[in-house]
Structure 1
Amino acid sequence: MERNNLAFYDQQAAQWWDETATVFPLSQLNPLRFQFFDRYVPDWRGLQVLDVGCGGGYTCEFLAQRGAVVTGIDQSAACIAAAQAHAQSTGLAIDYHTGVAEQLPFAGDRFDIVTCVDVLEHVQSVPTTIAEIGRVLKPGGFLLFDTLNRTWQSRLLMIWLLEDWLRLIPQGIHDWRQFVSPEELTRHLQQADFWEVEIQGFDLFGRHPLSQLQTLWYYWQTGSLWAKFDDITQVFYIGMARKHGNSMSTG
């Protein structure tokens, strides 16, 4: 079976904003992850924000509704077309581009914030992606991210349970070998001139098999998720890194 099969996103693009679409549950993660991100950026109004790996625009629209000046980039032209169409239909001014994270088509020191969510586990090169994000961030700017750790726990939950058994995630969408540990990511960030790094566990499903099944049952019944941040990073983790310099103010 092909792993890290990103063709799924092209196939889902036309239905991206349909509430019955396979990808639509991803839209529910933003209110959860921004409980963490808002600790570092309490006021988004007027900030220049780049969303790397924006897909069909869930995070871009979430940010635009909060007053940010938003740019989105994704390698899927179909997803970008869907994002542009939906933003136009809702009256949101978002600047969308097709491109890859390893070669961002933007000038250096342009953005106050870069968001990169559910993406680092899919890119071809994590260090190159981090270096490019550092290049386009202003001094003192923030990278806000979440991703998946490469552990037996993440393989059990994300691959075996959610992909292969329950089929809640399309089979082949993840390649466990491309998951990145917090230690590896911290090293790449430090090499790219990020001087402040904060990482926490991002608990969406519970920490034990019984609680995971209970959480999934609750999601099937209600369509709702919850989140908790802690020190356990074995599966999902979330974080902030700040580029060296102090020219940016987030109010």
Structure 2
Amino acid sequence: MGMLDGKVAIITGAAMGMGAATAELFAREGARVVIADLNEELGRAQARKIQDAGGAAAFVRADVSRAGDVEAMVQFAVDTFGRLDVAVNNAAHSPDTRPLADLDEAVWDAVIGVDLKGVALCLKYELRQMLKQGGGGSIINISSVSGIRPQPGTPAYVAAKHGVIGLTKQAAMDYSPHGIRVNAVAPGAVDTPMLQKALVEFNLEPVSYAKQLSLLGRFAQASEVAEVNLWLASDRSSYVTGAVYTVDGGYTAM
């Protein structure tokens, strides 16, 4: 028996990184998984990888900053697998890199559009479907340690990730009477393609930089974040809602 047997899950931004690791783990634990991403090539490849391993997965292209795409994504899950029980709102835009005095409005709109508005739109249509089914379900919003303490020169990303935590608490308050649990996960530095790109762009040495960002002296693996997502998605966390779980190697305790 898997922890998610019989459940249907949507995971946004699941073509790579934490989303892909979460999709693979959910499938191994019995969930039927919808992989939603803008990258059609990588998203379809990830779905095939899960299918080849004996899991149930389907890909849908979705831009979470567009309401029509998000509505269609949820409908795709229902049309393909019959219902929606779990959602992990993980899709994210690369952080901005300028302080507020040099703010680029187009970059601000892009980051806020995906990282905050995108989560709000996902919540809207996921909650509607769960209510339509009679209530019940688990939604996990991926914030960041940047949603707890600011980082230099990333005002849009910091604002968006703080906002995700606020949305999580609001949704938990409004929909707990319907048995829908909503929680947030706040990862620290995770060894993903996005992080590796940033290390190159900013000429950062991985070993020494990891020690600045973790009491454990290393970057997290995407699978370690996926394990927390799994627990929150499962019935084992049945009394948990409105919470924020840091997966940061102690960074926010430093």
TM-score when normalising by structure 2 = 0.50
Residues 45-74 of structure 1: per-residue CA shift (max 9 Å, x gap) = 121222233224322221111111222212
What residue in structure 1 maps to residue 29 of structure 2? 66
Unaligned runs of 5+ in 1: 1-41, 161-171, 238-251
Q: Which amino acid aligns with 2:159?
A: R
Report whether the alignment pairs 1:104 with 2:82: no
Q: Which amino acid aligns with 1:112?
A: D
* 1:1-251 paired onto structure 2 within 5 Å: 43-56=3-16, 57-101=20-64, 102=67, 103-105=70-72, 106-107=74-75, 110-117=83-90, 119=92, 122=115, 124-137=117-130, 138=133, 139-148=135-144, 153-156=149-152, 175-179=157-161, 180-188=163-171, 190=173, 193-195=175-177, 199=183, 202=186, 212-215=213-216, 217-219=217-219
Q: Which amino acid aligns with 1:153?
A: R
Q: Identify the structure with the greater strand proportion.
A: 1
Q: Which amino acid aligns with 1:177?
A: A
SS in 1 for 2:115: coil
User: Judging changes above 3 Å, is the alpha-carbon distance between structure 1 residues 214 and 117 closer, same or farther for their aligned structure 2 residues?
Assistant: same
SS in 2 for 1:132: helix
Residues 136-164 of structure 1: per-residue CA shift (max 9 Å, x gap) = 323112213331366572325xx67xxxx
Q: CA RMSD in A?
A: 4.5
Unaligned runs of 5+ in 2: 93-111, 190-209, 229-241, 249-254
CA distance in 1, matches of 2:122, 2:140: 13
User: Judging changes above 3 Å, is the alpha-carbon distance between structure 1 residues 151 and 202 closer, same or farther for their aligned structure 2 residues?
Assistant: closer
SS in 2 for 1:64: helix
Q: Contact 1:51 / 1:72 at 8 angstroms: preserved in 2? A: yes
CA distance in 2, matches of 1:194, 1:203: 24
User: Judging changes above 3 Å, is the alpha-carbon distance between structure 1 residues 117 and 151 closer, same or farther for their aligned structure 2 residues?
Assistant: closer
CA distance in 2, matches of 1:224, 1:87: 15
Shift of 1:97: 1.0
Instruction: Give the number of aligned pairs.
Output: 175
User: Judging changes above 3 Å, is the alpha-carbon distance between structure 1 residues 95 and 123 closer, same or farther for their aligned structure 2 residues?
Assistant: farther
Runs of 4+ in 1 over 4 A off after TM superposition: 118-121, 149-152, 188-191, 196-205, 222-228, 231-237
Q: Contact 1:153 / 1:234 at 8 angstroms: preserved in 2? A: no
User: Judging changes above 3 Å, is the alpha-carbon distance between structure 1 residues 69 and 112 closer, same or farther for their aligned structure 2 residues?
Assistant: same
TM-score when normalising by structure 1 = 0.51
Q: Contact 2:8 / 2:84 at 8 angstroms: preserved in 1? A: yes
